[in-house]
Structure 1
């Protein structure tokens, strides 16, 4: 591990593209994913003036004289913008007076699209991107997510050849789960005890500084208890009533806390696939975490479970999907009779179902839910994939390819 080398990020090209087109580019993501570093890297940070609202002088100017702050340079990067949302009104006025591509690059540790005043202020003026924790390939210096684009674009008959043509290096997935994808524990720290210290410091800062900036929270210990309970449910259906009962909180409080965790990119609620998009909004979602290393720490789990391998794959999928120009959604599928597929990739009118198995072998019985899905949506999904912890890449049936997880991500 080379801790002195700055690793390139896959999202960099998407940020550059957005800056060429839109007057405002918004880069959000959980704290410590590397947003500030990416915003200051060449070529994104070249010829841009950088200001952070973590600096008291800049924060005071944003609060008192926002118009003066946003006019300090021709091209500005403003970091941690969620701290003073009304500064966006000044940005709106300036953009409306002179709409120039690349004028502002804003970063924040909260999903600004879910903050009403932000969405209304920047409507039609901004492009939004999310920087997720580092993918496995980014950690290896490859500046890319898994081979999802290659799989989506290739005819299914070529999937095996596509995967075998790419260099791939196996590693224990449990080690990847423990270190997660935040740059410091994933790239700079080697010792597990050092990572535990970092994760605990991260959790404390998040609870004591970040959350109070987003919303007035009285029960910080209640929120920490909820985070622990949620991390213990990674990969399961989210039942808010059961969760509220287990942590002894009112359902309304649990709903509010879950929303805060989602807005700040800690918790991931994975929607259920349905042809009817409205139904996706009301059907039960599955619960995952933005980083497996932090999830394991918060849950107090020393040994990753199969659900954590699912979580690793999901984080890779999210890092890939958020940078695509074509609308791409990541969902799961479940029927009332219990048939379930871990992930469904939807691009246009195409569906790619993906199952994840932590086992080192796969049996014919493991494909029955994939076959059920393929039968149900035969007009949009031709074949499916099972990712497992083995070494061989092969067609288990005519419609299901089995591949090692490390060959794809």
Structure 2
């Protein structure tokens, strides 16, 4: 199972943050490669690696957090959420001597939302989110798709830019079934093996991680909610409807959704609007962050919603690898016009629509055209499709195969 390390898009940002902050917390879902990243980052070569999954380490840290932190001058503390007592000791150590890059923490539960971290490490810690692997990371390129290039170039340049970029063609259904979790994506040869892996993955999450967060009384309820969310991937979130369908209270659904988001197994995408207040009050769209996990939970064949999730995963990895992360939204009007994704980087806007069809038509670009009419500052729109051609589709909309971009 041991293979050469594949660089991650977030790696350069991790090294930059370590030169500024005494504490860097690398967060992400279980099994996305956090431990592998921190153990193979050149700037961390002199750090002592200590995993809190190790019972001996955990007992030592619980018994005397201060002494545990003196085991090395620079430490990587893996799965630090297992010993919350360490966080106060880290704060004291940082306040005594502020050394950039002194501590690198990893965790599967979102430490940004963990009460202990919020209280103790505010202003002392930077946070970096690691998502499942992008297609280009799996190819050894250490990056997400060409979003930065597309944001910087006028749409007239997009066709030549995309045609010239190295990008192996691939069936999107196969890419969806591979997903981005490193083990099933890189080491398992077929869907049957991946199904077994996801079965064990969810079992571990439900039986080990969730009880540790003390947030769920009924694990089968949470599993049913996950399945319902997988079926709704890419749709607007209606908590009341979800609660009625599952026979749960709205308060319970609300709490479970927060737990899944904290565990990086749920992404809530906000609506784009000029007014930031409107962005907050409109219903979000919900996604599971990995298309293969969503496919496993729905139990069907790959669909356009799964291709949309594959593109979302790449956008998330791009966003969270930037020094100044762009905004990532969806757009929808009261009349039902919709754009799947909107990237906002300063004054630049890039609306993106995803269609599984191999032959897109101008009708597929109606949402993009409506967005461009309302926001003329967006120079053009991008329609990703399941075919092979890169071409101007209609107006300022360029059609391109999904595999040329991500």
Report the counterpart of residue 353 of structure 2 in structure 1.
Answer: 355
The aligned length equals 406
* Structure 1 match to 2:188: 189
Contact 2:27 2:129 in 1 (8 A): yes
Between the aligned partners of 1:155 and 1:128, the Cα distance in structure 2 is 32
In the alignment, structure 1 residue 390 sits paired with structure 2 residue 393: no
The Cα of 1:20 is off from its aligned counterpart by 1.4
Q: Deviations over 1:68-90 (max 9, x none)?
A: 11222111000001122231111
Number of the residue aligned with 1:162: 161
- SS of the aligned residue for 1:227 comes to helix
Report the equivalent of 1:324.
322
- Write the distance in 1 (CA, Å) between the matches of 2:224 and 2:272: 30
1:201 is paired with a residue whose SS is helix
Matches within 5 A, 1:10-409: 10-301=9-300, 303-379=301-377, 381-409=378-406
Q: Answer whether contact 1:3 1:188 (CA < 8 A) is retained.
A: no
Alignment deviations for residues 46-83 of structure 1 (CA, whole Å, 9 cap, x no partner): 11111111011211122221111122211100000112
In structure 2, distance between residues paired with 1:74 and 1:154: 45
Q: Deviations 1:305-334 (Å, cap 9, x if unpaired)?
A: 101111000000000100111231110000
Compute the TM-score of the two structures, normalised by the length of structure 2.
0.97
Unpaired runs of 5+ in structure 2?
Answer: none
Q: 1 CA distance for matches of 2:148 and 2:15?
A: 20
SS of match in other structure, 2:313: helix
SS at match of 1:99: coil
Higher mean C-alpha deviation, range 213-222 or range 126-135: 213-222
Rounded to whole Å, the distance in 1 between the matches of 2:302 and 2:237 is 20
* SS of residue in 1 equivalent to 2:44: coil
Secondary structure at 2:162 match in 1: helix
Partners of 2:270 and 2:291 in 1: CA distance: 19
Find the residue that maps to 1:143 and give its secondary structure: coil
The superposition leaves residues 324-370 of structure 1 with CA deviations (integer Å, 9 ceiling, x where unpaired) of 11231110000111110000001112111000000011111222221
Paired residue secondary structure (1:156): coil
Structure 1 length-normalised TM:
0.97
Check 1:254–1:394 CA distance in 2 against 1; reply closer, same or farther (3 A cut): same
Quote the Cα distance in structure 2 between the aligned partners of 1:198 and 1:76: 31
Q: Secondary structure in 1 aligned to 2:287?
A: strand
Aligned mates of 2:168, 2:320 — CA distance in 1: 25
Cα RMSD (Å): 1.3
Distance 1:111 1:95 in 2: 21
Assess if the C-alpha contact under 8 Å between 1:38 and 1:44 holds in 2: no
The structural deviation recorded for 1:10 is 1.7
> Shift of residue 281 of structure 1?
2.0
Alpha-carbon separation, structure 2, partners of 1:226 and 1:368: 33
Q: CA deviation at 1:42?
A: 4.3
Quote the offset at 1:297 in angstroms. 1.1
Distance 1:32 1:330 in 2: 24
Whole-angstrom distance in 1 between the partners of 2:182 and 2:195:
14
**1: CA distance, partners of 2:102 / 2:82:** 20
- CA drift at 1:170: 0.9
Structure 1 consecutive aligned stretches of length 4 or more whose deviation exceeds 2 Å = 2-6
Q: Is the contact made by 1:178 and 1:304 (CA closer than 8 Å) also made in structure 2?
A: yes
